[in-house]
Amino acid sequence: MADGASAPPLLSLRGVSKSFGPVHALTDVDLDVPAGAVTALAGDNGAGKSTLIKCIAGIHPPDSGEVLWEGQPARIHEPSDAAALGIQTVYQDLALCDNLDIVQNMFLGRERLRRGQLDDVSMEQAAAETLTELAVTTVRSVRQQVASLSGGQRQSVAIAKAVLWESKLVVMDEPTAALGVAQTRMVLDLVRTLADRGHAVLLISHNMVDVFDVADRVAVLRHGRMVGVRPIDQIDQRIVVDLMTTGTSDREPDVGSSGPRGARRTRDTDEGVQR
Amino acid sequence: MTAREDVAEQATGSGPQVGGVGDYLSLVWSRVKGGETGVLPVVGGLLLVSILFQSLDGHFLTAGNLVNLLVQAAVFALLAMAEVFVLLLGEIDLSVGFVAGIGAVVLAWLSQPQVGWPWWAAIGAALLATAAIGLLQGTLITRIGLPSFVVTLAGLLFWQGVMLFVLGNGGSIQIQDPVLTGISSGTLSRLWGWVVMLVAVAGFAAVTWRRDARRRDSGLVAPPAALTGAKVGATLLAGIGLVLLVNADRGVLAPVFGLPWVVLVVVGVLVVWAYLLGRRRFGLYVYAVGGNAEAARRAGVNLARIRTAGFVLSALTAGIGGIVYASRLRSISTSLDGGTLVLYAVAGAVIGGTSLFGGRGKALHGVLGGVVIAAIDNGMGLLGFSAAAKYVVTAVVLLVAVTIDAVARRRRPA
């Protein structure tokens, strides 16, 4: 689905470079991020992953190169430009206000008003609806303060907030870094749901297990250069590690290591039948 | 059972099912246990203080003393509300005591017979002056990035100096305008007391009922109709109690009765600030900035504007407090102790349940905390204790309040 020639990918980077003084953080990077798929971005520390998503989010506009949005050249020079296109970024710190409830956090900055007053009813309904659609059902009440949520629930709220903002592309920076096993499962399921609903997802993760669990495509950065972008069935963990460390790999993909993902898909189908 | 099945299973029970009154109350109770204690500690403390003083001196709970207490509490309540605004932002304002003093000086000076401004113009000018002070201090804090502690500490000294300069050493200005002195000493007639109370309760009932009914109609978690009715009924009973209390003759030599105007002033300010903080976008942004300024900034909130507005509203509220203060003394003199007043204001806000760390608190907390401080002052005065003992007891109450807040916070799963 990702490589179909019919429609241009949602977001395309062509020859994007970014320097901070003498440091070349990104050099001539090409990347396609198609809708309806999870694109994982792998790379060692300092490989340029964070710089790349900051270019996409409008925090550090690229020095050179082209950004295409739905096939058209786009300028992303401010975070608001990215938001206007439909790009939402979920940072590692999540940017949630602990003292506000889930609804207030999800609508922060774009509250709905009714006769000049906050329209709590409409916002609460929309927030509950979005959480239900994303199958985030473990929260007791959407009027709970975010301070009382678990790490996975907070991550889910941050992602749901991004979805609520009519985003087409959701960029996530290490969404599972601080989570336990069950919480990680919850967030990865949410990432999958997002892609299945037609969103493009760009996921940064250090965790190879997570990447192979949820991604459709894997892009590997090394020293600011894109050294490989492959569909998940043409890559395995050892190839990713080779690419991250040396920039090349001669290995043939090992079908076994992409096994867990195939198994998960089957499980999804089973559940679909049960419902 | 895998984690995934666990999640799927929880999904089938879609949130809390709220049917009857009992279910809703248990939901509320679970929030209290979760650390969202609200006004419960301060209301409990107020009851405790009342019972204690009444048992030690039977005069505490008489109509005359309780009305007197409400009037005494007005300045504390107003200054504590002023402090709530800046505490919510995670800042502090040490200048509210002397900013109130400046408001009082402007009011007294302009309303003198030889200057001759009408009472309403003098009030307007006093409020304008204090709001301008808030704008100046707020701008220094937000645009230049100075710490609010230092800027308002400078404000405490500076405005005290200005006051001394205007009044002269040991000087004072009398207030003769009957309307201005009437703010604190005047009362409504018995009939008007009833009318005002009934109109206020009816307004509260209409707003509460409409909001709860809309939530119920939209299928959201809402208090059942019976509970909404009970809330309105309880408010009506409280209102009837208050009017009966203030309408009783509390005079010693001549009959004195009726609702003091100053109670209406405090309630009016409370209602407006509670509406602003609770129902308007501005209020939400105040909480957001106090909770996580970076998150608010990324959401597009103009931090400098919200913070500056917070300091302006704080100083404006302090100005109202200053007007009430001057009205009660019928004059303003250099004996105004703005340093102690501001410490009582911060203590009142914190005793009421406002967090010193930003993002948690309500205007109501300032009023309740102010009443607690006035009650301690009043009750210990009745018992013949010295000012020294009052300070000590107020300090202990403040520590207890902060401890309750800290313990409650620890129970909140972070």
Q: In the predicted model, is pLDDT for residue B107 greater than 70?
A: yes
Note whether B298 and B203 are same-domain residues: no
pLDDT of B35 reads: 60
What's the whole-number mean pLDDT along residues B368-391? 90
Is B16 an interface residue toward A (CB < 8 Å)?
yes
What's the whole-number mean pLDDT along residues B47-53? 90
End-to-end CA separation in angstroms for chain B? 27
Interface test with B, best of A90, A122, A141, A171 (most B CBs within 10 A): A141
Is A147 an interface residue toward B (CB < 8 Å)?
yes
Size of interface A-B (CB pairs under 8 A): 112
In 3D, which of A209, A254, A259, A219 has the Cα closest to residue A234?
A: A254
Minimum CA–CA partner of B289 in chain A: A97
**Spatial separation of the C-alpha atoms in residues B69 and B60, rounded to whole Å:** 9
Residue B166: other Cβ atoms inside 10 A? 17
Does A118 sit within 8 Å of B14, measured CB to CB?
no
In 3D, which of A243, A236, A203, A199 has the Cα closest to residue A221?
A: A243
Does A181 sit within 8 Å of B36, measured CB to CB?
no
Note whether B152 and B210 are same-domain residues: no
pLDDT of B36 reads: 63
What's the whole-number mean pLDDT along residues B252-279? 91
**Spatial separation of the C-alpha atoms in residues B48 and B376, rounded to whole Å:** 11
Q: Picking from A88-102, B84-98, B121-135, which range would have the lowest pLDDT averaged per residue?
A: A88-102
Is A125 an interface residue toward B (CB < 8 Å)?
yes
By CB neighbour count within 10 A (0-12 exposed, 13-18 middle, 19+ buried), where does B133 fall?
Answer: buried
Of A96, A97, A145, the CB nearest to B36: A145
**Spatial separation of the C-alpha atoms in residues A184 and B268, rounded to whole Å:** 50
Strand order in the sheet with A200-204: A87-90, A169-173, A200-204, A38-43, A217-222, A225-231
In 3D, which of B270, B198, B271 has the Cα closest to residue B236?
A: B198
Exposure string over A42-77, b if 16+ CB within 10 A, otherwise e? bbeeebbbbbbbbbbbbbbebeebebbbeeeebebe
pLDDT band at B344 (very low <50, low <70, confident <90, very high): very high
Minimum CA–CA partner of A268 in chain B: B4
Does A100 sit within 8 Å of B3, measured CB to CB?
no
Task: Quote the ipTM score.
Answer: 0.84
Note whether B359 and B219 are same-domain residues: no
Of B221, B279, B296, the CB nearest to A97: B296
Domain limits of chain A? 11-86+167-274, 97-166
Strands A72-73 and A87-90: unpaired
**Average pLDDT of every residue of chain A:** 84
What's the whole-number mean pLDDT along residues B64-88? 94
Residues 6+ apart with CB under 8 A from B86: B92, B93, B148, B310, B311, B314
pLDDT of A96 reads: 92
CB-based contacts of A1-9 (< 8 A; 24+ apart in sequence): A1/A34, A1/A36, A1/A37, A1/A216, A2/A32, A2/A34, A2/A37, A2/A216, A2/A217, A2/A231, A3/A231, A7/A71, A8/A68, A8/A70, A8/A71, A9/A33, A9/A34, A9/A35
**Average pLDDT of every residue of chain B:** 87
Tell me the three state secondary structure of residue A207.
Answer: coil
Domain presence at residue B29: no
Does B281 sit within 8 Å of A121, measured CB to CB?
no
**Spatial separation of the C-alpha atoms in residues B55 and B212, rounded to whole Å:** 40
Question: A160 to chain B nearest CA, in Å?
Answer: 15
Amino acid at B237: L
Is A273 an interface residue toward B (CB < 8 Å)?
no
Asked which of B259, B285, B318 is the last residue of a domain, the reply is B259
Q: In the predicted model, is pLDDT for residue B197 greater than 80?
A: yes
In 3D, which of A82, A33, A95 has the Cα closest to residue B299?
A: A95
Domain presence at residue B384: yes
Taking 70 as the pLDDT cut, the residues of chain A under it are 1-6, 254-275
Q: Read off the CATH number of the domain in which B64 is found.
A: 1.10.3470
pLDDT of A207 reads: 84
CATH class of A11-86+167-274: alpha beta
Domain presence at residue B27: no
Q: In the predicted model, is pLDDT for residue B158 greater than 50?
A: yes
Note whether B72 and B121 are same-domain residues: yes
Note whether B123 and B102 are same-domain residues: yes
pLDDT of B34 reads: 62
Note whether B316 and B248 are same-domain residues: no
pLDDT in tens, B274-329: 999 999 999 999 999 999 998 898 888 899 999 999 999 999 999 999 999 999 99
Is A109 an interface residue toward B (CB < 8 Å)?
yes
Domain presence at residue B386: yes
**Chain B hits for A104, Cβ within 8 Å:** 284, 287-288
Note whether B212 and B284 are same-domain residues: no
What are B201's two structure tokens? 């309760």
**Chain B hits for A95, Cβ within 8 Å:** 292, 294-295, 298-299
Q: Which of residues 147-186 of B touch A (CB under 8 A)?
A: none
Of all residues in chain B, what percent carry a pLDDT higher than 90?
A: 55
pLDDT in tens, A63-112: 999 999 998 999 888 888 888 899 988 888 888 999 999 999 999 988 99
Does B292 sit within 8 Å of A96, measured CB to CB?
yes
Is B17 an interface residue toward A (CB < 8 Å)?
no
**Spatial separation of the C-alpha atoms in residues B153 and B93, rounded to whole Å:** 8
Note whether B152 and B301 are same-domain residues: yes
Q: In the predicted model, is pLDDT for residue B1 greater than 70?
A: no
pLDDT band at B37 (very low <50, low <70, confident <90, very high): low
pLDDT in tens, B203-238: 999 999 988 888 888 888 777 888 888 889 999 999
H-type helices in B13-90, by residue range?
Answer: 21-33, 40-56, 63-88
Domain hosting residue B156, numbered range: 43-185+275-404
Does A97 sit within 8 Å of B220, measured CB to CB?
no
pLDDT in tens, A40-62: 999 888 888 889 998 998 888 89
Q: In the predicted model, is pLDDT for residue B17 greater than 70?
A: no
Question: B73 to chain A nearest CA, in Å?
Answer: 29
- Domain count for chain B: 2
**Spatial separation of the C-alpha atoms in residues A172 and B358, rounded to whole Å:** 29
